[in-house]
A and B are shown apart, each in its own frame.
Chain A
Amino acid sequence: KQEVTQIPAALSVPEGENLVLNCSFTDSAIYNLQWFRQDPGKGLTSLLLIQSSQREQTSGRLNASLDKSSGRSTLYIAASQPGDSATYLCAGRLGSNYKLTFGKGTLLTVNP
C-alpha cells in the first residue's frame, strides 16, 4: 500500500524561528510531490510542487526538497511568522497514478 507519513503531527515555535517539516513516502517511483497549506475549515492552497527530476524548489521563505532514494521530502520555512500558522500537508503522485496520496499533515503554530 502506498503511504505518505508526516512528522511531527504538531509543532509550536516562537516567531522568527526557522523550521523544517518532514514527509516520507513508501513508493520510490514517485512522479511528483506537492506541499499544501490548509487553514481551519478551508480548502488546500498549493505551496510548492517538486517533480521527481528535481531536488528542490523555492518560493519566498519556503524551500522544499525531495530525495527519492530515501523516500523523503522536507519543507523549510524561514523566519516564521504568526500568519504561517496552519496545517501543512504533503501529497505524492505515486507510481503511475494521477491521484495524490496525502499525509495526515503537520499542525504548525507560530507564537508571537
Chain B
Amino acid sequence: DTGVSQDPRHKITKRGQNVTFRCDPISEHNRLYWYRQTLGQGPEFLTYFQNEAQLEKSRLLSDRFSAERPKGSFSTLEIQRTEQGDSAMYLCASSLVGTGHNEQFFGPGTRLTVL
C-alpha cells in the first residue's frame, strides 16, 4: 500500500491523559498536513510541514498540542492533558512540492474519544 497511513486508527483515553498519533506520508511527498474533523463538520487545518520544518500552525493548535516531523519522513501529533473537546477524527495528508497543483492525499484518520 503506497497511500498515507495513520496509527492508531482508534484511540480511547481518559481526560487528562496524553496521546500520540503517527502519520506516514506517501513516499517522497515532502509536505505533510494535520487536520481535525468533528462530527458533521469539514476538516479544519491544524499544521503543516515541508520536509522537517513546521511552517504554519492554526490557532486551533493550543499549547497542549505539539507536532513533529523528524528527518522529514513520518510525523507525530501529541496531545497533552486531553480534554473531552479534543474528541475528533485526526486526519493526516501529504503532497508533493513541484507538481504545480499541490494535490493533497489523505490517510484513514485516527478517531480519538476522550472519556
On A, residues with C-beta under 8 Å from B are: 4, 31-32, 34, 36, 41-46, 49, 51, 89, 91, 93, 97-105
**Contacts between the two chains (Cβ within 8 Å), count:** 64
B84 part of interface (Cβ distance < 8 Å): no
Number of interface residues of B (CB under 8 A): 28
Given contacts A44-B91, A99-B56, contact A105 B105 (CB under 8 A): no
CB distance from B94 to the nearest CB of A (A): 12
On B, residues with C-beta under 8 Å from A are: 4, 6, 31, 33, 35, 40-45, 48, 55-56, 58, 91, 93, 100-109, 111
Across chains A and B, which 8 residue pairs bring their CB atoms closest together, nearest first? Answer: A102-B42, A99-B45, A44-B106, A43-B108, A43-B109, A43-B106, A49-B103, A104-B42
| Chain B residue with the shortest CB-CB distance to A97 | B56
> Which A residues are in CB contact (< 8 Å) with B91?
43-44
